[in-house]
Structure 1
C-alpha cells in the first residue's frame, strides 16, 4: 500500500470511528459532556467528557486525560477513560482543539495554548463533589503528554495554580524542552521504535540530562520512572492502528503486548500515587 493510500485509509477509519464513538457516547449513562468553566478562564469554552465510577462511595480520586495533536479526545475516552473509570477513578477527557476551532495541531503545535488546559481541568475536578481534590493525576498522549510533563515540572505554571496534581503520566511524549525537575511522581511510557518522539530523549530526561546539555542535580525534583517497550512504535496503545500507517513521515502501529503492559503499569502507578494504596499511606501519616 502506498503512503498516500495509507493516509486515506487512516482518514476514513478516523471518520468512521469518530461517528461510532459519538453514537456510543450519546447512549452511555455513565458519562456526560461538561463545560469546565463558568465564567471562562479564557475566550475558549473548554469542554470534556466526564465519567464517574459505578458504585463509588464518597469522593474518588480522579484523572485528567489530554489528547494528542490529532485532537482525538473521544477515542482517548473510549480507550482509556472508560477503562480507568472501571478501576474506581473519576475521569475527565479534555477537548483542547474543538473549542478553539481546530481539528489538529500536529503541524503547528505552538499555534494553540492548551498547555494550560491541564490545570483548567484540574480546577473543575477540584470543585466537583465526586472528586477528592488531593488525589488527581494528569495523563497525556504524545503532545498531550508533553503538556502534562510541563504542567508538573517546577515552574510558573505549577507554582501559579492553587490546585496541584498528585502524579503524572505521559504516553510517548516529546521529551525535549524540559528540565525534568518534577514536583510529583511521574511515569513515561514510550516505544523504542518511536520515530516521532525519541525514547533516547526520554532516557536523557529521566536521567537528568536535557537537549541543551544541562543536567539537573540528583537531589532536584521527584524521580521520573521511564518504561521503554522494545518493539513498539508511536501510538502503540491505539487498536485502530492494527494496520500500520505513515503520518507526516512517521510510523504509527498498535502493539498488543505494549498496550497490555502499559495498562498494567498505569494501573499500578495510579494505585500507588492516587489510589487505595496512596489513601492508606496518607491515613498512616
Structure 2
C-alpha cells in the first residue's frame, strides 16, 4: 500500500466517518445539534447530536461517547442513527469541539471524566426521555469514559442520576480495578494491538497485573465478547482498507460489526429496553 492511499484512508477515518450500507437503518428524524448546558453553568458547555424516535411515551435513551479522533458526527451516523431506529433516544456527545481540541490520540490530556453524567443530566430533563432508563456506550477513549462512569468510585457516586447500563467497544481495560455498579458489555477484537483483549479478560475476571482478584460477587457482572479476527475500530466501515495509526492497526470487520450490532441491541433491550425487568 502506497503512502497516498494510506493517508487517504486515515483521513477518512479521522474526518469522514461515513456509514456503510450495513449501518444504513435510519431513524425517522434527522439529528439535531443541542447545547447541553448554559455557559453560565459550565465552561465550556457541551454539545451533542440528538435523535428521537417517533413515540408518544418517554423512551429509554443512550449516551454515545466518541473515540480519541473526536469524530462525533461520524459516530452519530454510524451508531446514533441505528440505535435510534431501535426505539431509543440517542445523544452523541461532542467532547472536543467546545474545548477547541481536534484529536487526543497522541499525548493530549483531556479531562472528560464527567461528560457522560453531564449528558445524562441533560437527558433527564427532556420530556421525551425516561430518566430511569439511560445507558452509556463508548468507543476506545469513549469506552474508557463509559466504564469510568459506572465503575464504583468518586465520579459515579457524585452524580444524583445513574446510568442503568454501559457498553464499551474496544476499551483500554487495564486501569479498571474496582467493581461495576450496573451491567456492562465489553466488545473487543482478539487481534487488537491498541486495546488488548487479554487485558479486558483480566478486567472482567477480576484479575490485575499481579494476579490479585477483586472479591467475586461484590459488583455487577460484566459480559465480554471477543471477536477472533477483529482489530481496533472493527465497526468503522471507512476502514475497509486497514491503516496504521500511531503504530496500531485499524481495520473494519464486517462480521464482527454485524455481530456487535446484534449483541448491543440485545444488551440494550435487556437492560433499558422492552425486556428490561422481565423475568
Q: Identify whether the pair has TM-score above 0.5, normalized to the shorter chain.
A: yes
Give the CA RMSD over aligned residues.
1.9
Of 256, 261, 266, the residue aligned with 1:268 is: 266
CA 1:62–1:206: 2 relative to 1, 3 Å = same
Higher relative contact order (CA 8 A, sep 6+): 2
Superposition deviation, residue 38 in structure 1: 2.2
Q: Give the corresponding residue for 2:90.
A: 91
Counterpart of 1:23 in structure 2 is none
SS in 1 for 2:267: helix
2:140 to 142, 147, 156: 142
Q: Is contact 1:6–1:245 with CA below 8 Å preserved after alignment?
A: no
* Alignment correspondent of 1:25: none
Match of 1:233? 231
Q: Give the C-alpha shift of residue 165 in structure 1.
A: 0.0
Q: Distance in 1 between matches of 2:17 and 2:230?
A: 25
**Match of residue 199 from structure 1:** 197
Deviation at 1:180, TM superposition (A): 4.2
Counterpart of 1:113 in 2: which secondary structure? Answer: coil
**Alignment partner, residue 23 of structure 2:** none
Residues 7 and 98 (structure 1 numbering): CA distance in 2 closer, same or farther, change over 3 Å? farther
1:68 aligns with 2:70: no
Structure-1 residue corresponding to 2:30: 30
- The 2-side partners of 1:174 and 1:267 are apart by 22
SS at match of 2:114: helix
1:210-249 pair list within 5 angstroms: 210-211=208-209, 213-249=211-247
The 3 A distance-change label for structure 1 pair 238 and 158 is same
> In the alignment, is the contact (CA less than 8 A) between 1:6 and 1:246 conserved in 2?
no
**1:151-196, Cα deviation, whole Å (9 max, x unpaired):** 1000100000000000000000000111140000000000000001
Residue 24 of structure 1 is matched in structure 2 by none
1:40 Cα deviation (Å)?
4.8
Task: Give a deviation string over 1:128-148, Cα, whole Å, max 9, x none.
Answer: 110000000000000100110
The TM-score, its normalising length taken from structure 1, stands at: 0.90
Per-residue deviation at 1:12? Answer: 3.9
Which of the two has greater helix per residue? 1
Gaps of 5+ in 2: 20-27
State the Cα distance separating 1:43 from its structure 2 match.
Answer: 1.5
**Deviation at 1:253?**
0.5
